[in-house]
Amino acid sequence: MMVCCGVLSAGVVGPNIPLVQTTEQQWKSVFDINVLGTASFIKAFAPGMVENHWGRIVTFASMAAKDGNPNLSIYSATKAAVVALTKSVGKELATSGVLVNAIAPAVIETPMNKNTSAEVLAHLTSLIPMKRIGKAEEVAELVAWLCSDKVSFSTGAVYDISGGRATY
């Protein structure tokens, strides 16, 4: 059996502005990367996994998909779309041997957040009961588990890694 796991971690935050100030082009740009990029990856790699009767696909959503973040309506909406996409494809492939699950992190110390203002990071950290930003290594451990053969009865699920921020 060929072991195959696809991890879709590419994403952009987009503008940090109120919804009424956003433009159609900003929506299209973030949607193209966060949603269409994820769908395109799945379309490209899932058929081979199905043919091999085994595969793991891990998408990246966000706590913003569940909670919505003020002034990040575009990002929040696109990550909610990734959740719905993951759930749909997880059900479509449920009997194929290919499992599709999502990870919804709270704020994680990554290059994506290097330009995030100190005030925004402080606000996001204040929402986390552990009172700290997550580490990429912590997320990597969850990814490794979801890509393993130890996971056999989970598809279309969303795994929070939020330091306690998740409320549902």
* Residue 29 is assigned to a structural domain of this protein: yes
* Residue 116 is assigned to a structural domain of this protein: yes
Statement: residue 158 has pLDDT above 80: yes
* Residue 105 is assigned to a structural domain of this protein: yes
* Residue 53 is assigned to a structural domain of this protein: yes
pLDDT tens figures, 82-122: 999 999 999 999 999 999 999 999 989 988 777 778 888 88
- Domain total for the chain? 1
CA distances for 33 relative to 14, 36, 78, 81, angstroms: 10, 6, 9, 12
Confidence label for 2 from pLDDT (cuts 50, 70 and 90): low
* Residue 166 is assigned to a structural domain of this protein: no
Range of the domain at 107: 5-161
pTM: 0.92
Contact 79, 137 (CB under 8 A): no
* Residue 168 is assigned to a structural domain of this protein: no
| CATH number for 13 | 3.40.50.720
Catalytic residue annotation:
75
